[in-house]
Chain A
Amino acid sequence: AQSVTQPDIHITVSEGASLELRCNYSYGATPYLFWYVQSPGQGLQLLLKYFSGDTLVQGIKGFEAEFKRSQSSFNLRKPSVHWSDAAEYFCAVVLNRDDKIIFGKGTRLHILP
């Protein structure tokens, strides 16, 4: 079945350390790809998106993501996390331009002081 997978339910990193959150999709074609962040008690906010072109995408809050077609992945990275990055992160895909967005189950990021 076509899906988007976030293998890690929880990730804990120390403040100042680097971060990588994994996202894999299983579609025949390359979908449109997104990362959203949800802070506690808040709605979702778009961090970045990939439609085509350069496979390294820059987003807000210092985040970036790299699309790797060979691995069907769209992993989110940040060189140095801050305590305010503690949140839940959702990878999402849209298969075709007129399709609905499908979300992964999320990865909750915990930051150690």
Chain B
Amino acid sequence: NAGVTQTPKFQVLKTGQSMTLQCAQDMNHEYMSWYRQDPGMGLRLIHYSVGAGITDQGEVPNGYNVSRSTTEDFPLRLLSAAPSQTSVYFCASSLSLGLARTDTQYFGPGTRLTVL
């Protein structure tokens, strides 16, 4: 299994540009989520999905859109990039939202985004 993959690893955008961060998992996980990581802020949840066709907002959803057309993929779209969206973005997945003793979240390697 490849686990959780993210592309691209690095991206530079100009203010106002749009782009999509890709996230895919091959573990048949129902739950997927997007976080952003900023210095001194820890990880903050942007959006999450509990299954194909179902998404919901997290702590910091403004400026981002998501969709979940398949179990495997959970892309994050920046509609009009702003410098405040400069961050490292992590995608994560887990078997289910409800936790079990053997459940855990698996994180992708991250995408480092800079908005000029």
Q: Are A105 and B41 in contact (CB under 8 A)?
A: yes
Q: Are B99 and A32 in contact (CB under 8 A)?
A: yes
Which residue of A44, A90, A103 has the most chain B CB atoms within 10 A of its CB atom? A44
How many chain A residues touch B (CB < 8 A): the figure is 21
Chain B interface size, as a band, is 20 to 34
Nearest opposing residue in chain A for B45, CB measure: A100
List of A residues within 8 angstroms of B98 by Cβ: 97-98
Bound CA span A96–B97, Å: 10
B interface footprint on A61-99 (CB within 8 Å = 1, 0 otherwise): 000000000000000000000000000001000100110
List of A residues within 8 angstroms of B107 by Cβ: 43-45
Chain B interface residues toward A at CB < 8 A: 4, 33, 35, 40-45, 48, 58, 90, 92, 97-99, 101, 104-105, 107-110
* CB-CB nearest 8 A-B residue pairs: A43-B107, A105-B42, A103-B43, A44-B107, A103-B42, A97-B98, A46-B104, A43-B109
